[in-house]
Amino acid sequence: MTEYSRLAKGTATVLSAGGTAPINLPFQPDYVEFINYTAMDTPTATWIVKGWWDANMGQGFAAYDFFDAGPVYSTNVATTGGVSTYKAGLLLQYGATQQVVSITKANPAIVTVTGHGYVSGDVVIFQNLYQSTTTGMPQIAGVPFTITVIDANSFSIPWNTNQSNYTALSGSPAGALVKKVLYPYLYEPGVNFITAITTGTTTTIDTTDAHNMVVGQEVAFRIPTAWGTTQLNSLPNNVTPGSPIYGYVIAVTDYNTVVVNINSTGFTAFNSNQPFAAAGQNFAQIVAVGDVNTGGVQISAGSQLYPPPYVVPIGTTRVNTINGPAIQGAFFNNTSQGFILGAGLAVAAQAGQTIYWRAYLHDYSNP
């Protein structure tokens, strides 16, 4: 039967911590198979060659072929960290909270969390961050940060804490916690928190997590007075009352930097050196606006007929969404679903290996 079956295939790369990044699909598969092209090309002890997962095995299970010592071809199964499926909800979901051991006064700030288990590109949120009742870094609590992993116990965040109003954290302060945002890009391009602004004939914006904007994106700004560059705010428009002031993205530098066509020469400097606050904090934001913009996904010879919009969580990694076709410059719904090849598939030491996968959702299953 194939009337309602769904099939997908693609490639993935093994991460430094093992396994792969989440693979987005328009469905949750009930069967996954994959081959490790790198291992097949160079037989090496401990490397997985190919594997299979069926929903009846359970989440995190898998069966696989691998090279044992020698190398000798052998088989094995994973009961944790194998293949698992996921489905994002309408609201943000979070992983387990972990204790923050320390945060440095540095640019970028370095965070220590023992055995954090994160990978570069993950998005995290902090809470509390008090060193004492009057010192610490509660100014950055509640901000989504795309992290860059340094080692198993530390990572950096794109924020300058080497400023007078921040106090370094140390000694695992009680209540200083961090948690991972499991599916951070539900609606993109979304609302992004600003970490720095460079003024001039054009305006450069740095954000705390992946902005996922494209050239031609129409944007507005929400900047509280304490953050300085309020002249960028979309309202009020003193020339045309009631008409918002919008800008357009003219360049995308990287996953958390964009250049906007607004001439900000002479504008007030941006100020991230916010005072210690025991209550909530209002943050500076850049917001995608409008429902029809330029910058759509191009259809050309050799491209997909209906290319889906995509997100770029970190670096140059491009992840297709479950949507399509869509106008890339507009908001799109990205309540992700798909599967993950976990670190339990014995590939933790082989970062960069190339994986070819196929995923299926059958219209009939006989358990």
Same domain, yes or no, for 218 and 323?
yes
Which pair of tokens denotes residue 276? Answer: 């210690």
Same domain, yes or no, for 242 and 309?
yes
**Predicted confidence band of residue 259 (pLDDT cuts 50, 70, 90):** very high
Spatial separation of the C-alpha atoms in residues 183 and 328, rounded to whole Å: 20
**Pairing assessment for the beta strands 247-254 and 218-222 based on DSSP bridges:** antiparallel
Same domain, yes or no, for 191 and 322?
yes
Which of these, 223, 219, 162, lies nearest to 197 by C-alpha position?
A: 223
Instruction: Answer whether residue 346 is part of any domain.
Output: yes
Average pLDDT, the chain: 86
pLDDT at position 295, please? 47
Same domain, yes or no, for 102 and 169?
yes
Domain count, the chain: 3
- Contact call for residues 232 and 120 (beta carbons, < 8 A): no
Instruction: Answer whether residue 254 is part of any domain.
Output: yes
Same domain, yes or no, for 170 and 253?
no
Instruction: Answer whether residue 292 is part of any domain.
Output: yes
Three-class DSSP category at 356: strand
Q: Which CATH number fits the domain that encloses residue 247?
A: 2.40.30.180
Spatial separation of the C-alpha atoms in residues 91 and 95, rounded to whole Å: 14
Instruction: Answer whether residue 367 is part of any domain.
Output: no
Same domain, yes or no, for 134 and 237?
no
Which range, of 28-32, 66-70, 165-169, 324-328, averages the lowest pLDDT?
A: 324-328
Spatial separation of the C-alpha atoms in residues 21 and 36, rounded to whole Å: 15
Same domain, yes or no, for 192 and 169?
no
Q: What are phi and psi of 77, to 5 degrees?
A: -130, 155
- Contact call for residues 98 and 127 (beta carbons, < 8 A): no
Q: What DSSP element (H or E) covers 49? A: strand 48-54
- Taking phi first (over 0 means left), then psi (-120 to 50 degrees means alpha), and beta for anything else, what does residue 320 get? beta
Spatial separation of the C-alpha atoms in residues 295 and 2, rounded to whole Å: 36
Same domain, yes or no, for 285 and 307?
yes
pLDDT at 209 over 70: yes
Instruction: Answer whether residue 174 is part of any domain.
Output: yes
Spatial separation of the C-alpha atoms in residues 70 and 232, rounded to whole Å: 64
Instruction: Answer whether residue 92 is part of any domain.
Output: no
Q: What percentage of the chain carries pLDDT values higher than 90?
A: 52
Domain span at residue 68 reads 6-87+336-361
pLDDT at position 299, please? 63
Which pair of tokens denotes residue 188? Answer: 């993109």
Which pair of tokens denotes residue 31? Answer: 């069967």
Instruction: Answer whether residue 1 is part of any domain.
Output: no
Query: Which is higher by pLDDT, 23 or 262?
Result: 262
Which range, of 14-18, 52-56, 83-87, 302-306, averages the lowest pLDDT?
A: 302-306
pLDDT at position 58, please? 93
Cα angle value 246/247/253 (rounded, 5°): 150
211-230 per-position pLDDT tens digit: 988 888 889 999 999 999 99
Across the range 48-72, mean pLDDT stands at: 92
Across the range 76-92, mean pLDDT stands at: 87
pLDDT at position 151, please? 93
First to last CA, the chain: 16
pLDDT at position 21, please? 76
7-26 per-position pLDDT tens digit: 999 998 887 767 787 888 88
Q: What percentage of the chain carries pLDDT values higher than 70?
A: 88
Q: Which residues, 6+ apart, have CB-to-CB distance to 291 below 8 Å?
A: 330, 331
Cα separations in angstroms, 105 against 136, 156, 164, 170: 10, 11, 9, 11
Three-class DSSP category at 294: coil
Location of structure tokens 């898998």: 62
pLDDT at 150 over 90: yes
pLDDT at position 272, please? 94
347-365 per-position pLDDT tens digit: 544 778 899 999 999 987 7
Spatial separation of the C-alpha atoms in residues 7 and 54, rounded to whole Å: 14
pLDDT at position 330, please? 65
Q: What are phi and psi of 98, to 5 degrees?
A: -130, 150
Instruction: Answer whether residue 109 is part of any domain.
Output: yes
Same domain, yes or no, for 194 and 318?
yes
Across the range 157-178, mean pLDDT stands at: 95
pLDDT at position 348, please? 43
Q: Confirm whether pTM is higher than 0.75.
A: yes
Which pair of tokens denotes residue 132? Answer: 């004492």
pLDDT at 201 over 90: yes
Q: Which residues, 6+ apart, have CB-to-CB distance to 288 below 8 Å?
A: 188, 189, 190, 191, 213, 217, 218, 219, 330, 331
Across the range 173-180, mean pLDDT stands at: 95
pLDDT at 292 over 50: no
Same domain, yes or no, for 145 and 132?
yes
